[in-house]
A and B are shown apart, each in its own frame.
Chain A
Amino acid sequence: MDEFLQGWIDWLNAQPFQQTIRYTEWVVPTVQTIHIVAVAVVITAALVIALRGVELTGREWSLARWHQRFRSGTIAALWVLLATGLVMTLAEPERELLNWIFRAKMVMVIVTLIIAHFLSRRLEQAKPDRPAGGDVRAAAFLVLLCWIGIATAGRWIAYAG
């Protein structure tokens, strides 16, 4: 697999647009800053939903209302994460594509999105005046832990390969 990817990486590294992204000093730090801001939006939403599920925060709103508050912002932030992630991968393809932590991170992202999707559907069907069930509370904490794991893997890409 690495040999196949190396062919793509060599091709990418020979493209003028890739060289521009890679060697323009401000591009990668700026894109990483936007990436971190989007991470903040996603993790904060997951944190508040998880804490609200166990009645620790935001009691003026039901869990369903908090979910409604965060839904569009989280979806927008996920698109931003995808776009900025693609730019970072384009800038340094060998650092990402040949890195086992990056690959683990991508698998975790897919698994987390599937769990978050099912959690989202349950919260959309939830009645505002009823407390969240144990499965919903557990899923909310699982989603939070998954995003924390993904962010942790993201930082470790810089240090390990």
Chain B
Amino acid sequence: MIDSFLEAVSNSAIGIYIAEDPMAFPWIEVVHVLSLVTVFGSILLVDLRLMGLASRDYPVNALTRTILPITWVAFIIAAMTGGLLFSSNPYGYWGNTAFKAKMVLLLLAGLNMAIFHLVTQRGGQMDRPGSLPAGARVAGFVSVTIWLAIIACGRWIGFTMSPF
């Protein structure tokens, strides 16, 4: 099943275009990197607050309400551009360990975020300034660690495979 998926992506018009056009891959990669740094930077803002290391006088619920829309917009752009980059060489990416690690880490980041929003944040104590429950501090630490690893894996992809 995965082989037929990779073959379909590899033979798609968009995949062939990105692989063959000398400007397409670099420009898509620029947008991917810009959106990814925005995802990481905005999540870092929230994570540092969760860990109690910065913005302690900004209530977490208010901070997530105002910052996470930026994160989501940037994440959607990063996912779309990431998909386009993947389409230029699906077999190469699928066979790359750093790429697979990045995908697993993205799932773990999503899981950590879901647990925080559905369990920890609903547990209360997020509408006031100051330090937060241990669950929130742990969620912030886990999140920043995973996202650092995601960026590292993204960079390692560039060093362990040819883009085209």
Contacts and interface: CB of A to CB of B under 8 A. Distances in A.
Interface stretch (A11-19, A103-111, A119-127, A149-157): A149-157
Contacts of B44: 40-41, 44
Interface residues of B, number: 30
Contacts of B158: 29
Interface in A41-91: 41, 43-45, 47-48, 51, 57-61, 69, 73
Interface stretch (A2-10, A31-39, A92-100, A132-140): A31-39
- Interface of A, secondary structure class, is helix
Contact of B62 (A45, A47, A60): A60
B76 to A, nearest CB: 16
Contacts, number: 83
Nearest to B157: A29
B148 A37 contact: yes
Interface of B: 26, 29-30, 33-34, 36-38, 40-42, 44-45, 54-55, 58-59, 62-63, 66-67, 69-70, 148, 151-152, 155-156, 158-159
